[in-house]
Amino acid sequence: MQKYDTTKKSLDAAKKELTDKSRASSELQAREQLLESLENQKRMTESQNEEIINQLEDLRYKLVQSEEEFIKKEVKLRHENNELLRRLEDRN
């Protein structure tokens, strides 16, 4: 009878250990899945950030071009205006 009790206790302990290890394994798998998901999100965010940075650089470049064009037009219009004023003065 004592051998039976000892064997039963040993089996119960092994069952508890197996249950604990199974639970730990499930928790580890869940953490690994969460980690993989977070790594995917990080990659997507980095990709989106890179795209936004590229768009920002493009917009800055276009802004500089627009400012240069505006300055050229302004200079041209000032010149035309001065020329028209000169003509007007020459008529008078």
Half-sphere exposure in the Cβ direction for 64 (13 Å, CA): 5
Supply the pTM of this predicted model.
Answer: 0.60
pLDDT digits (tens, 9 = 90+) for 20-68: 999 999 999 999 999 999 999 999 999 999 999 999 999 999 999 999 9
Residue 14 has pLDDT above 90, yes or no: no
Neighbouring C-beta atoms of residue 81, cutoff 10 Å: 10
Burial 25-49 (b: 16+ CB within 10 A, else e): eeeeeeeeeeeeeeeeeeeeeeeee
Neighbouring C-beta atoms of residue 71, cutoff 10 Å: 10
Q: Long-range contacts made by residues 8-12, C-beta under 8 angstroms, separation at least 24? A: none
